[in-house]
Amino acid sequence: MLRPLDADAPYDIGPYRLLAGLGSGGMGTVHLAVPPGAGAEGLVALKTVRRDLEHAGDFRLRFRREAEAARAVRGPYVSALVDADPEAERPWLATQYIAGPSLEEAVGRHGPLPVPVVRDLGAAIARGLAAVHGARLVHRDLKPANVVLGATGPRLIDFGIAQAYDATALTATGVMVGSPGFMSPEHVAGDRSVTGASDVFCLGTVLCFAATGHGPFEDTELAAIVHRIAQGRPDLSRVPDELRQTVADCLHQDPARRPTTAELIRALDTSSRPDRPGVPHAPARGAFPWPDGVRELIGTYETAVAAALEAPPMPRTAPTAAPAGAGQAAPHGQSAEDGNGAADGRPGPGRPRTGRPAWARGRRLRLAVGMGAGLLAGVLTATLLLLPGDDPEPRTPGNAAPAPGESAGESGGSTAPAATPPARTAAVAASGMADFGPDSLDRTLQPEDWRPWATSFDGPGAADDCALSGDVIVCRIRDEETRQTRLEARDASDGSRLWGYPAEGVPTALLGVRGLDVDDRHAYVTAADGDGFEVLNLSDGKPVARLPGRTGYDPVMARVHDGRIFVSYAGGGGAGSAANMLFRAYDADDRTRVWERVIPWAFPPSLDVVGDRVWITGSQETLTLDPATGKTRAEAPWNCDRRIRSAPYDVCGGFIVDARSLRRVGSTRAMPPEAVSRDGLLFIEGEGLREGSRYIQAIDVRSGRELWTAPWTRGDSVVVAGDRLLTFGAGRVRAFALDDGTPEATLDNIRNWPRKDGAFDGSKAQPTTVLVSGGACFLTFDDGTVMTAPVS
């Protein structure tokens, strides 16, 4: 899918004019580009390196080697290198652009491919791998997203982590390189013995995906995926009989016993002659036998590319702003965003293009959200833009960002009424939140007889998700050795242990318990036996009800809000790939089911609640649902890497989005922020240093303006509580006024904060989870410590 160019993207790179965005990866950004005077035949996918990477050291060497390696690969089933400049100030390389979807998108939209097509697809990919291996390379990242389906056949793309057989490894031993769910045992071991046989293993996972819509090692958590790959436990039950043995051969644990690419070609394409490695068989003439739905999808790509080519080039200087809404409809369902993004992928009216982008880097802290290892870290930058029609004035206490509005088509697009103050009842908070509400610093809402305390959880492990309700704090604890999880509840007043789940000695499902949430009476979590969800009495942990599961679906996430329980189940998929998701809603009082809905290709852990909307995302789009009916209320063609629970705004594909209506309200180069306040402030890592230290920027989501900054240490937790921004790390809590950033308090050398030999030990002294309620913070740490301290 073509994406609008970022407003600060350069006009050109080398001899190529940029037309649209294609995506981004670990090394940098990819654009659709064209050289002067060329047409569709000259289109390239131009990859540029992020400026935050170390260009002068091993990384520049890696990029140079990638370019040299790609030059050696030629064949009809690979995207050939066209040009490169590894020595440029910002290194880049250009490869042949193929108009069409990835295999991941095609199967996600139109379902598994017929067996004959899978055979032809597999033979073509094997020929592409033969070309790669013939150049003495290993692809190392073969997955459905790296197979592009063109009109004349599939093409392998992205040799971004290819490694020459004869070269010294640039990937350190012990580092897992590849994509979860589509990696070989050698990949997950992180060793240097990854060979062409590893690519064959990955091809087996891709064939399984193409034939069934699921990878052979899918699960709901990364640790479980890695375990299944390492133990050789693929699920091939849904692979058609005609393909099962070939796929199983590819997935053999012993690399020496996997078929060669030539053997695969013979097995999959009975009309083929034996191919010699490095001498790929010529493709058949004419169109590839894709199913009708895939052919139509390829056609939409071709149409969008033609529109991008026909559009006049943007001037090198900023154009005069035109009225909002002047943009045309964008290709592939990507909206023109109310005039802020044009159909050809260029900035819409009023969004100037500059000659050079402003690049920065960042890292999101590890606030536990219970959403899987694949969502724990991201690149964060800090360029926000004023959009046409936005209020240009900075936000002040009397000029807060407007409340989220209805999505298009709802009540004429009217805005939602102002939020009413929450009832002053037992405080409920959960880790993963970034704004604990206006009453979170009110000491009258503290647990009865609360005082600062510290203790350790029983048994091994550390908390990665916690929830607080009144006088009870419940945490999910993960034991890294066994990969099992359990619940432990503590009295929030003094830290004494209340209960644990499951009971000692009770066997649990492979993944333990997940999806924790609480209300004022109960805790909700996946059942220990893996069958549905358990409703536990908050005071003593005894089960009071079971929300039953459904055959073929694994329970993943529970969220309780406004008298309803929302749960999600994954249908044979998980962290390595999207999966069919079953969503259900129950009445919290009598546990009767209110509605049920199956949504193909939603991500299993994505369930969230934002105001009066149920929020989910998938590989191609994001939806919000009506909590009363389960019907879609808004949808957008973006995958949102959501990390902050219940946040009113999110960052999706470079856009700042109202998480309730899914309307675009701003634009940014940033990945998800450190924190988001309910009244429209994004807190993101600033670029570089100020006064010799790193800092947090407070950005107004509507105007894109920096309102204030505060000193910060990377990795420290950042949350909003009442009228303050709080940061936590290395025995220190800092408080800043939310309206102007004025420092209000700093608590140093907090008693009971974990230390090593009397000193704070880097990331070990940064909390794994943070809760704020009743003017107190509740913190957990890697060593199993759980503690509280006053913050007001």
Instruction: Choose among 184, 214, 218, 181: nearest CA to 199.
Output: 184
Burial of residue 354 (number of CB atoms within 10 Å: 0-12, 13-18, 19+): middle
Query: What are the residue ranges of helices labelled H in 169-271?
Result: 185-189, 196-212, 222-231, 241-250, 261-268
- Annotated binding residues for ATP, written as ranges, equal 47
Q: Distance between CA atoms of 539 and 559, rounded to whole angstroms?
A: 19
The residue written with tokens 């994509």 in the block is: 179
Residue 723: active-site member: no
Using CA atoms, how far residue 508 sits from 468, 490, 604, in Å, is 24, 22, 20
> Which residues are registered as beta bridge partners of 569?
555, 582
Distance between terminal CA atoms of the chain?
A: 49
Burial of residue 108 (number of CB atoms within 10 Å: 0-12, 13-18, 19+): buried
- Annotated binding residues, written as ranges, equal 47
Q: Is residue 429 within 8 Å of 467, Cβ to Cβ?
A: yes
Using CA atoms, how far residue 99 sits from 299, 306, 426, 786, in Å, is 8, 10, 56, 53
List, in order, residues 6 or more apart from 52 with CB less than 8 Å away. 359, 360, 361, 379
> Crossing angle, helix 241-250 and helix 196-212, to 10 degrees?
150
Active-site option among 141, 608, 679, 700:
141
Strand ranges (E), 374-501? 384-385, 428-430, 454-456, 462-469, 472-479, 484-491, 497-501
> Which residues are registered as beta bridge partners of 772?
777
Q: What is the DSSP string of 676-725?
A: E-TTSEEEEEPSS-BTTB-EEEEEETTT--EEEEEE--TT-EEEEETTEE
Q: Is residue 624 within 8 Å of 407, Cβ to Cβ?
A: yes
Instruction: Choose among 354, 385, 359: nearest CA to 687.
Output: 359
Q: Catalytic residue positions? A: 141
